[in-house]
A and B are shown apart, each in its own frame.
Chain A
Amino acid sequence: MSMFHASQVDDASSPLMAPPTASLMRWVVIATLPGVMAMTYYFGLGVLSNIALAAIMGVLLEAGMLRLRSRPIAPALTDTSTLLTGVLLGASLPPASPWWLIGVGMLAAVVVAKQLYGGLGHNPFNPAMVGYALLLVSFPTYMTLWAPPQPLLNDTLWAQILGTLPTFQLDALSGATPLDAFKHKPEELSAQQFWSSNPLPEQTLTAWYTISLAWLSGGALLLIKRIISWHIPVALLGSLVALAALFYLGDSGRFASPVFHLLTGATLFGAFFIATDPVSAATSQRGKLLYGAGIGVLIIVIRNLGGYPDAVAFAVLLMNLCVPLLDLYTVPRPTGHSKDAPGVPR
């Protein structure tokens, strides 16, 4: 048995090796920084308050659950996976979400989606997306309150976080995301007419484009550090752009362009940070390609034909459901097996 371990030898000739699990998760957290900073720049400190609250509550919930399950607490907390879940869910929520909303989301993510299934490595669904989907279905009013781009600090931040701001005031503060606005454009307007009517508050599109590119740069870091493989992001973005282009070519008056789909909403964030969660994704390389492509297709189908403006969470969760099947049918053919006897289960 191997007495050697890649992380234990410093004289190995190939440094291109993924770091140990705990620092792997830390690297993912570090890679979210460009995206998080861009969001904070455009949407204010509410983004950071989301993330901080989600991370703190997540770690507390994880520790509590581990205690109830009589499992060692320290190693599970140092692997940073819960912190990562908190960062991802916090970044998905509308800035300055009330604390209880974040709490409910993290409860669903950490307790239900992760610990009840057996902890790290055992969860069939992406925890952050389970939390997000639950909140989206249960509290749609709060989940659609994306404020327009605003200065770093605004007066109502504390009231918003504490949940004491009256609803009418909230409505007054909120704008719409570009996807949201496009979804609810009047039927009689064509896309071109809609965009020329300046439907969004100032800077909104720039903000979303910049944030998407920031997520992309974080994703590039993950690829360079070999923390994620290229299969899922490439398949996801490829199928998304291809299908969006088909829709757009079919009826450019009704459907948005591929570039719009690529650069707004959670597309790039999802492609690099959500869909690549190895625990809930398919495992073989062929399986990963199919998994990524499936998410891309579902995102466009739901955005263009379904009832939700963005669909990353649902697309990822639906493909999580398919993972056991994908894994079963994409077992690679091992060396020495003939071509007509593929690795498909007997």
Chain B
Amino acid sequence: MARLFDFPGGVYPPERKARSAQSPLRRAPLPAQVVLPLRQHSGRPATPCVSLGDNVHTGSLIAKRDGLISADVHATVSGTVSHVDGDTIVIGSDGQDTRQNLPPLDWRATDASVLLTRLDESGVVGLGGAGFPTHIKARVIERHAIDTLVINAAECEPYITADDLTLRCYPSEVLEGAQLIASLCGAQQIVIGIEDNKPEAIAALKRAISQSQPASVTLTIIPTRYPSGSERQLIKKLLNRTVPSQGLPADVGVLCHNPGTLLAALYAVRDGQPLIERIVTLSGEAIAQPGNYWVRLGTSIETLLEQLGLDNARLSCVIKGGPMMGTALETLNTPITKTTNCLIAATHEELPPVPMESPCIRCGACESVCPAQLLPQQLHWYARAQEDDKLERYHLFDCIECGACSYVCPSHIPLVGDYRESKSRLRHNKIEAAKAEHAKHRFEFRQARLAREEAEKQARRQARLAHNKPTDGNASNESNSAPPVDLRSLRIAQTAAKAAVRKAEKILARAAQQEPQQSHEDLETLLATAQENLKAADLQLAQARESAKAPTAEDTP
């Protein structure tokens, strides 16, 4: 076994995984209706491409990605579209579950660009929670050299066993998916990080590892400690590499994927099956049949829980995600999405309400468990006082919101809640400050569009002129005199526009990956502007080349 390194802090909350890990993986009943949100991923919502009354099959594309950071959405049952608006598409099932898959591909014999397109059009996103589009993540190779793919199977949150069951049931498929992603991003080694509380998954992986090639696969078993499943902490633990603050794992040559995502990626490529279902852990004392289920995306949480024997009398709240980082659902009338990994129907005894907050006495318990080595007690103080410059000085944005500090606080202070609030306030302020910048981008975008339209008009006029006076020597002379100079500067302009597009893409991809939950409107505008500029430059260049070529063609005969 590889040597283990350590990250600071951490806590040992009760695991409570046995309840859902003991039953086998089952399939939830096919829902009678699915509600599919257009934003199940980080970035922009997808744009619907079906209308009311359309018949769709399971796997039909129903909404197209919009912008760079976005993902396609597919029908998860066959039937009729019964509702479309800006947020959701509702499909009534016909009960047939007829499939519409893409053609299967053999990834070892297929070009990388084809595979990337396949991931893109299958709507595969990170299933661990952030929902970052997988094809964008794989394209990181354009900017960074990646040597290691980390399979994050730590699953350190209490209750959740979705990755555990995924690995127990599909070990070789997950490894095959990992090999696929590793070859796409050029990683020579695959490291699996798994906590020692999943012996069955570990045994399954050990059996499957020997057949996995070409990249070498290492299985690293780490002691159970929360939050070892956090990307940064896991990379530190497995590889002793520290992801820089405000940076990405790619900055240290690592790509991190969840087993579920790898499985979905393999299905998309090998079987041509878009992302239409996922494994969800359903646990908590208030359901009769806890366990892990394959659930179609868009299934109503309420219906699902009731089918599994929800005891409404004992139910105190339903938590989406784990108890450390998840959120309590305000209504059960919401669908399962691509990022729903766990639902906990908790009873009052199971998760008693946190007692009333008392003042912070700066005991430092939070500091000793913080995996990011922050000073939570000071952050709390400044967050309450809204001292924004101090918050940034004490590195608020390095907080990974793992909740270890809230878990141990003897005064029961909801620290992470405070930090989230402060973060969004600081972001809001930054957005306000960036509004002028945004307006500038919009203006530039308009200028670029006008320039392109002008160029198009010019092209049409010249085409008309050339058509009207095909033998007029003056016209060809006129266009002949200018091009040699123009062509060169236009080529330079086109190259510059291309570079601008690449830069805008890079900035946006980075921002979106760092803060997947935020919208990056101004960056999207920036990218659109650059793309408009490039189009205009392309057009002008093509037209100049045409007119430079045209006279010679005319002269020769």
For the complex of A and B, 4 pairs with smallest distance between CB atoms: A121-B359, A2-B403, A336-B245, A2-B406
A-B contact pairs, 27 of them (CB 8 A): A1-B416, A2-B324, A2-B416, A3-B354, A6-B13, A8-B352, A8-B355, A12-B13, A17-B408, A18-B408, A20-B355, A20-B358, A20-B412, A21-B358, A24-B363, A75-B358, A81-B361, A120-B358, A283-B375, A284-B367, A288-B364, A331-B395, A334-B373, A334-B395, A335-B373, A336-B398, A337-B398
Number of residue pairs A-B, CB distance < 8 angstroms: 161
Q: Is the CB of A121 within 8 A of B398?
A: no
Find out whether the CB atom of B395 lies under 8 angstroms from the CB atom of A21. no
Distance of A286 from chain B, by nearest CB (Å): 11
Query: Is the Cβ of B372 less than 8 Å from the Cβ of A334?
Result: yes
The answer to whether B158 touches A122, judged by C-beta atoms less than 8 angstroms apart, is: no
Distance A286 CA – B372 CA, assembled complex (angstroms): 16
Is A21's CB under 8 angstroms from B361's CB?
A: yes
Total interface residues on B, CB under 8 Å, equals 64
Query: Does A229 count as interface, using CB distance less than 8 angstroms?
Result: yes
Cβ of B479 < 8 Å from any Cβ of A? no
Q: Which of A305-341 contact B (CB under 8 A)?
A: 327, 331-338
Check if B328 sits within 8 Å of A3, measured CB to CB: yes
Residues of A within 8 A of B243 (CB): 336
Residue B462 interfacial (CB < 8 Å): no
**In the complex, which residues of chain A have a beta carbon less than 8 angstroms from the beta carbon of B16?**
11
What is the CA–CA distance of A19 and B319 in the complex, to the nearest angstrom? 26
Query: Residue among B361, B372, B417, B420 with the most chain A CB within 10 A?
Result: B361
Contact between A24 and B410, CB atoms less than 8 A apart: yes
By beta carbon, the residue of chain B nearest A16 is B12
The 8 Å CB contact of A2, one of B323, B362, B373, B393, is B323
| Contacting pair A278 B362 (CB below 8 A) | yes
Inside 8 A of B557's CB, which chain A residues have their CB? none
CB-CB under 8 A from B398, the residues of chain A are 334-337
B420 / chain A contacts, CB cutoff of 8 Å:
1
Is the beta-carbon distance between A283 and B367 smaller than 8 angstroms? yes
Q: A3-B326, A336-B232 are in contact. Are A279 and B414 (CB under 8 A)?
A: no
Q: Judge if B29 is at the interface, Cβ distance under 8 Å.
A: no
Q: Which of chain A's residues have a CB closer than 8 A to the CB of B246?
A: 336
CA distance A163 to B249 in the complex (A): 72
For the A-B complex with A4-B407, A285-B368 known, give 12 more contacts whose Cβ atoms are closer than 8 Å.
A1-B406, A2-B324, A4-B13, A4-B324, A7-B355, A14-B12, A20-B410, A121-B359, A281-B362, A335-B372, A336-B232, A337-B398
Task: Please judge, given known A-B contacts A3-B323, A336-B245, A337-B395, whether A120 and B361 are in contact too, CB under 8 Å.
Answer: yes
Complex contact B410–A21 (CB within 8 A): yes
CB atoms of A335 and B7 under 8 A apart: yes
Residues of chain A contacted by B410 (CB below 8 angstroms): 7, 18-21, 24
Question: Contact at A279–B361, with CB atoms within 8 Å?
Answer: yes
Question: Does B378 belong to the interface (CB within 8 Å)?
Answer: yes
Q: Is the CB–CB distance between B358 and A79 below 8 Å?
A: yes
A278 to B14, CA, bound (A): 28
Interface residue? B247 (CB, 8 A): yes
- State A336–B378 Cα separation when bound (angstroms): 19
Hey, which chain B residues are within 8 Å of A119, CB to CB?
A: 359
Q: Categorize the interface residue count of chain A.
A: 35 or more
Minimal beta-carbon separation of A10 from chain B (angstroms)? 8
Interface hits, A208-236 → B, CB 8 Å: 229
Residues of A within 8 A of B364 (CB): 229, 278, 283, 285, 288
B window 372-427: CB within 8 A of A: 372-375, 377-378, 393-395, 398, 403, 406-412, 414, 416-417, 420
CB neighbours (8 Å) of B363 from chain A are 18, 21, 24, 278
Chain B residues in 8 Å Cβ range of A229: 364, 368
CB–CB A75/B406 < 8 A:
no
Q: Does A184 sit within 8 A of B, measured CB to CB?
A: no
Interface pair B367/A285, CB less than 8 Å apart: yes
Contact A335 B327 (CB under 8 A): no
Which A1-44 residues have a C-beta within 8 angstroms of B? 1-9, 11-14, 17-22, 24
A284 to B359, CA, bound (A): 18
